[in-house]
Amino acid sequence: MARQSKLQKQILALYRQFLRAGQDKPGFIPRIRDDFRQNAGIKKTDVMHIEYLYRRGQRQLEQLRDVNTKQLGSFAKPAEKS
């Protein structure tokens, strides 16, 4: 198995922190897994985008850890009309 880069290790640690923080909040674990799986397809060479998502994830983790957080919001592109 190939060695993981520092950024890969940081992202895996962030994922584990998200899972731990979401245990006490119903419905959060599937959402966390879906978001990470969706972004797993990003090319390893797109480091700027990966770092951006990592920093955004850190901010979201802090919000999730807040005791007042009850649900997660998301932004989605509206479906294009054909």
Q: Tell me: the pLDDT tens digits for 12-64?
A: 999 999 999 988 888 889 989 999 999 999 998 999 999 999 999 999 999 88
Comparing 42 with 69, which gets the higher pLDDT? 42
Element (H, E) at 42: none
Tell whether pTM > 0.85: no
From residue 58, alpha-carbon distances to 3, 15, 27, 69 in Å are: 24, 10, 20, 15
CA-CA distance, 12 to 46, in Å (whole number)? 17
Q: Looking at residue 70, what is its pLDDT?
A: 67
Task: Please check whether residue 79 is in contact with residue 39, taking contact to mean a CB–CB distance below 8 angstroms.
Answer: no
